[in-house]
Structure 1
Amino acid sequence: MGETLDVMTIGEYAGSIYCLRGALTDWVELKPDEEERAFAEMARAAREWLALDPRDSGTVRRYFDYWLYDVCGYERP
């Protein structure tokens, strides 16, 4: 995570990327009994990210909406 901070300080979704990465890695650290599920969700998040068109802002917005609020449990603004 620390190695990617410089990369994540640019762009419209930098904060979302940071929060998603943090939430998924915290899941493993804070709930070790759910490690297998957390790793599976990390892999799914990565696959879904790689499958979307990053130039389509609606698609990117829906991706982060789902992952941050529905999966990771952040409170919607």
Structure 2
Amino acid sequence: MKWIRDHCTANELELVRVENFNDRYPEEQRADLSLTHFTIARSESPGLDGWALPTGLPPTAARTARRTSKGRRKAA
């Protein structure tokens, strides 16, 4: 919880709401599991540039990892 608050503060975000859903787990599992929902907002509305979608290709490592996860290519 402290990490998310620090992250929001460092990135000019506002932690609006925190909901604890642990009551959805059986009593005996609540000590081991945690389900928390965070609602986060920006402190200020972004300008037009803030809504722009990223462009370009992802870094080479990401493309390679994605290709190998689909399976190896057959040799010719």
User: Fold match, TM over 0.5?
Assistant: no
Structure number, greater radius of gyration: 2
What's the TM-score once normalised by structure 1's chain length?
Answer: 0.29
Task: Write 1 or 2 for the structure with the bigger share of strand.
Answer: 2
Task: Write 1 or 2 for the structure with the bigger share of helix.
Answer: 1
What's the TM-score once normalised by structure 2's chain length?
Answer: 0.29
